[in-house]
Chains A and B, each alone.
Chain A
Amino acid sequence: MAAAPAIELDGLTRRYGERVALDGVTVSVPAGATLVVFGPNGAGKSTLLRVLATLLRPHAGAARVLGRALPGEGWAVRGHLGLLAHEPLLYGDLTARENLRFHARLHGVARGRAEALLEHVGLAARADERVHTFSRGMVQRLAVCRAVLHEPELLLLDEPRAHLDPAAAALVEPLIGAGDGRTRVVTSHDPSGGLAEADLALGLRAGRAELLRRAADVDPAEIGRLYR
């Protein structure tokens, strides 16, 4: 039997004033699967993640995440999803440890989890330094820790390997890669790399879904055409 969808979008539309950022997007992502979203800048990828994260309301269409209808039942989904956005969602004047402990308290997670994550991503030695003194790659590693602190069922990852060198990317891979049955929505500009980790591929252009197929059936050249 096929797994129940973790995400079901039907004609999802979101506007910013007059501009349509998402225009009737329909997609279903089974639990445990990875959806990789491709598209040029301004195509609506980040907006899609923010709608799924319950931070933005859909203006039309229907959205269900982890079996709950958005926005009405968004309260029930929060705490089960982790968002790694372009912005790290960390306070620059707090230390790495203080940031993670703050989020751990909000999510009701034990301190030990924060310490283990700092150790895992190689930041334990600098955990008591303020985040604004970190390099962009270190901030991204810490942001990964924040996003997965509460072991979410659904990971929403906006270009998660941006700013990471290969060694750092390898460090965070067990935290944000496919596995442990978690569902992932990942945005990417890398056709080959993105398709390699995807079960489903979604191509957005100007807010419209121009491509939606099993990743195994997609030629990287098709992704390239989205950017022309």
Chain B
Amino acid sequence: MSRAVGALLRKELQLELRAPQIVPAMALFSVSTLVVFHFALQRGQVAGDLAAGVLWVTLLFAAMLGTSRLFVADHEEGGLDAFLLAPVDRTALLVAKVAALLAFLAAVELVAVPAFAILLLGPAPSAGELARLVAVLALADAGIAVTGTLVGALAVQTRARDLLVPLLALPLLIPVVIGAAKATTPLFAEAGAGSLPLRWVAILALYDLLFGLLAYALFDFLVED
């Protein structure tokens, strides 16, 4: 299966590098939203739960854009059929799509998190705070990527995919937003960063495991007739 995952992931990255669509759209959306928050909140800085909420709402809505486009090239150009004709486990496509969406989210966060820090956060986070933030981002991104891939595979078969993706994905991702916001709130505390609340980190990890298993069980049915 690793050969197929490698081929599929390489194709995903080649397509995005060759004709960038997903990452620029997500990055522009993130930065625009943060600018809107900057002016709408009418304050120079945000901290604590408000800062965490702003960051995660922005990243979540940006992820919806990527999720909507994740299977479009495969659907419109017949790549999904070509894949289904190959003698490879369907899980390879799930793994490759999750990895690709993870990579896209990570690329977007390289832009969005500094923009968030500049536009809305107070003093720049220390290396330790940044490492803890990266850990939460990684766990939350894994959950978003798994659920997003599952929803993207379902929605691409329909004409209303742009509507269906947020309608299905946002409710499913509420636990991720809660967990990620609760986990990052201490990092953005006005009185200085606190330690990571491990309970919320564990909830994020549990979500990733649960939805990973769910995606593994359901994915074949979503991509096959």
CA distance A53 to B87 in the complex (A): 12
Asked whether A42 is an interface residue with its Cβ less than 8 Å from the other chain, the reply is no
**A93 and B225 contact, CB distance less than 8 A:** no
Hey, which chain A residues are within 8 Å of B78, CB to CB? 85, 87-90
CB B107 to nearest CB in A, in angstroms, measures 18
Q: Which residues of B contact A107 (CB under 8 A)?
A: 86-87
Check B43 for interface membership: any CB of A closer than 8 A: no
Whether A90 lies near B77 (C-beta < 8 A) is yes
By the criterion CB–CB under 8 Å, are A94 and B82 in contact? no
CA distance A138 to B143 in the complex (A): 42
A91-B11, A93-B18 given; A106·B81 CB < 8 A: no
| Pair A55/B15 contact, Cβ less than 8 Å | no
Q: How far is the CA of A53 from the CA of B73 in the complex (A)?
A: 21
A3 and B85 CA atoms in complex are apart in Å by 25
**Range of interface residues on chain A?**
20 to 34
Are A78 and B86 interface neighbours, CB within 8 A? yes
Closest to B86 in A: A106
How close is B70's CB to chain A, nearest CB, in angstroms?
A: 14
Do A106 and B88 form a contact, CB below 8 Å, given A93-B19, A94-B15, A130-B18? yes
Report the separation of the CA atoms of residues A98 and B84 in the bound assembly, to the nearest whole angstrom: 19
Q: Which of B18, B19, B79, B225 is within 8 Å of A89, CB to CB?
A: B79
Chain B: interface residue total (CB-CB under 8 A): 24
B 6-29 contacts with A by CB, 8 A: 6-8, 10-11, 14-15, 18-19
Q: Are A91 and B79 in contact (CB under 8 A)?
A: yes
* A113 smallest CB distance to B (angstroms): 15
B83 at interface, CB cutoff 8 A: yes
Within 8 A of B (CB), among A52-110: 53-57, 75, 78-79, 81-83, 85, 87-94, 98, 102-103, 105-108
Chain B residues whose CB sits within 8 angstroms of the CB of A108 once the complex forms: 3, 87
B120 beta carbon closer than 8 Å to chain A: no
| A-B contacts at CB below 8 angstroms, number | 72
A94 and B18: CB pair below 8 A?
yes
Q: Judge whether B4 is part of the interface by a CB distance below 8 angstroms.
A: yes
Does A89 contact B11, Cβ atoms closer than 8 Å? no
Give the distance in Å from the alpha carbon of A111 to the alpha carbon of B85 in the complex. 19
Q: Are the C-beta atoms of A79 and B77 separated by less than 8 Å?
A: no
Q: Is A146 an interface residue (CB 8 A)?
A: yes
What separation, in Å, do the CA atoms of A81 and B81 have in the docked complex? 13
Q: A79: which B residues are within 8 A, CB to CB?
A: 86-87
Inside 8 A of A94's CB, which chain B residues have their CB?
11, 14-15, 18
B10 neighbours in A (Cβ, 8 Å): 102
Q: Is the CB of A102 within 8 A of B7?
A: yes
Structural contact, B77 and A89, CB atoms closer than 8 A: yes
Are A91 and B85 neighbours in the complex by a CB distance under 8 Å?
no
Query: B3 contacts which chain A residues (CB < 8 A)?
Result: 105, 108
Q: How far does the alpha carbon of A106 sit from the alpha carbon of B92 in the complex, in Å?
A: 10
Closest-by-CB residue of B relative to A57 is: B225
Residues of A within 8 A of B18 (CB): 93-94, 130
Residues of B with C-beta under 8 A to A55? 81, 84-85, 225
The answer, among B19, B73, B85, for a CB contact under 8 Å with A83, is: B85
Residues in A neighbouring B85, C-beta threshold 8 A: 53-55, 78, 81-83
Determine which of A54, A57, A102, A105 lies in contact with B84 in the assembled complex, contact meaning CB atoms within 8 Å.
A54
Q: What are the 8 tightest A-B residue pairs by CB atom distance, in nearest-first order?
A: A79-B87, A105-B7, A89-B78, A106-B86, A89-B82, A87-B78, A93-B19, A93-B18
List 26 A–B pairs whose Cβ atoms lie within 8 Å, in order of A's numbering: A55-B84, A57-B225, A78-B85, A78-B86, A81-B85, A83-B81, A83-B85, A87-B78, A89-B81, A90-B78, A91-B73, A91-B77, A91-B79, A93-B15, A93-B18, A94-B18, A98-B11, A103-B82, A103-B86, A105-B3, A105-B4, A105-B6, A107-B87, A108-B3, A130-B18, A146-B82
Q: Interface residues, chain A, CB within 8 Å of chain B?
A: 53-57, 75, 78-79, 81-83, 85, 87-94, 98, 102-103, 105-108, 130, 146
Extra 11 A-B pairs, beta carbons < 8 Å, given A83-B81, A106-B4, A108-B3: A54-B84, A55-B85, A55-B225, A78-B85, A88-B78, A89-B79, A98-B11, A105-B4, A106-B86, A106-B88, A108-B87
